[in-house]
Amino acid sequence: MQRSCLSRGGRALSLALTLSLGLAGCKEEEDGGGTLASPSRDAGSGVTEAPGLWLAAGDAEDPAAFLARVTGSDPGRVAASFPAVAARYRESPRMIANRVVQVWHEAPRTDLPSLLLRLAAGAGEKDRRASIGPLVQRYRVLRDRGLPHEEALTEALEHLRR
Position 126 scores a pLDDT of 66
Predicted TM-score of the model (pTM): 0.69
Report how far residue 108's alpha carbon sits from residue 104's, in angstroms, rounded to the nearest whole number: 5
Average pLDDT estimate for 134-161: 96
DSSP for 4-17, please give it: PSS-HHHHHHHHHH
**Contact (CB, 8 A) for 47 and 39:** yes
**Contact (CB, 8 A) for 152 and 143:** yes
Q: Which tens digits make up the pLDDT trace of 5-54?
A: 445 544 444 444 333 333 333 334 444 444 344 444 343 333 334 557 89
